[in-house]
Chain A
Amino acid sequence: MLKGNEIKIYIGYHGTSRESAALIQKSNFNRSINRSEWLGSGVYFFTDGIKNPRDHAYEWAKCRDCKQISIISVLVSGTKVLDTTNQEGIDAYNEMRDLILEQEKEWFPNTKNRWEDNTTMWELIADYLKIEIIIHNLYIKNSIAKLNSNVPNTTVMCVKNNDNIDIGSLEIEFIGVI
């Protein structure tokens, strides 16, 4: 028996240049589609979890060489959320990954060890599960954390579709000059 569609609401923090913040306010966020995206294509935010998401947003903008930094907050909501910061989410991810690797063996029998990147796996899992929002703990290097590490230091949120972002709730939390 399926449960009802419970809407989950999150606050996303986005660090960017002052100019980009103004553009976002005017015409919404651009989805990232680079192959190197952590969790596949989508709009990326820092969110509550490991340490303060505002600090991460600030550091992110700083590392992007923005001279004038803006930190934006916005409400994100959805019913289909893959949250790998909890056990259920990790179990779901692993179950889907195993299934996809079985499919690979069955339908691409000659292709061995050809997973070019982790992004493809995230994209397949999000597509099959029809996920709207992914929440995941990551380690991101910044001006403070310069070490290479596999222990997460931040929690990120990837929103697959702008429809799940309440652009009317957007607030400029901070404007500063480096």
Chain B
Amino acid sequence: MNIKDLVIQAKERISAMSGDEIRAKFIQHGYVPSALDMNLCRSFYEKEKYSNINLSLEVSSSNKSNYLAIKNFSFNEKNKLGTECPGTFYPANIACNDANFNLCTKYEMDLAA
């Protein structure tokens, strides 16, 4: 099939997709949203990504008391990315920016909500 036709078909499919479906598609392929945007994807994360998540939480020993560390988590098979990156998750009410990015791992989740 001609690549131009595939682009036309793709555009038709995309225009029929909801915002949730588009966000889910991005995340499925490894896109890393900010903590605030993660809130928008919350239902997807809860239903799809973290449906089989196993967490234990504790407050970080860091003096930034509003950070929480997640230990001993595992993902279901759907989440091929999750197994690569244990570490500290970010409360969604703190924006991840250049200044504090080093405290932030690839995966963030609204633990406060």
Contacts and interface: CB of A to CB of B under 8 A. Distances in A.
Contacts of A127: 25, 29
B69 interface: no
A89 B3 contact: yes
A103 B33 contact: no
B51 to A, nearest CB: 20
Given A35-B84, A79-B1, A108-B26, A114 B95 contact: no
Nearest to A110: B36
A111 B7 CA distance: 26
B2 A95 contact: no
A83 interface: yes
B81 interface: yes
Interface residues of B, number: 31
A88 interface: yes
A109 interface: yes
Nearest to B106: A116
A112 B34 CA distance: 8
Contact of B7 (A40, A81, A112, A129): A129
Contacts of A96: 7, 10
B10 A80 contact: no
Of A104, A107, A131, most B-chain CB atoms within 10 Å: A107
A3 B4 CA distance: 10
Interface in B1-40: 1-7, 9-11, 13-14, 19, 22-23, 25-26, 29-34, 36-37, 40
A88 B3 contact: yes
Given A3-B1, A88-B3, A114 B32 contact: yes
Interface stretch (A10-18, A19-27, A117-125, A150-158): A117-125
A128 B2 contact: no
A82 interface: yes
Contacts of A128: 10, 13-14, 25
19 contacts: A3-B1, A95-B7, A96-B10, A99-B14, A103-B22, A108-B26, A108-B34, A109-B37, A111-B33, A111-B34, A112-B34, A114-B31, A114-B32, A114-B33, A114-B34, A116-B32, A116-B106, A124-B29, A129-B9
Interface of B: 1-7, 9-11, 13-14, 19, 22-23, 25-26, 29-34, 36-37, 40, 80-81, 84, 95, 106
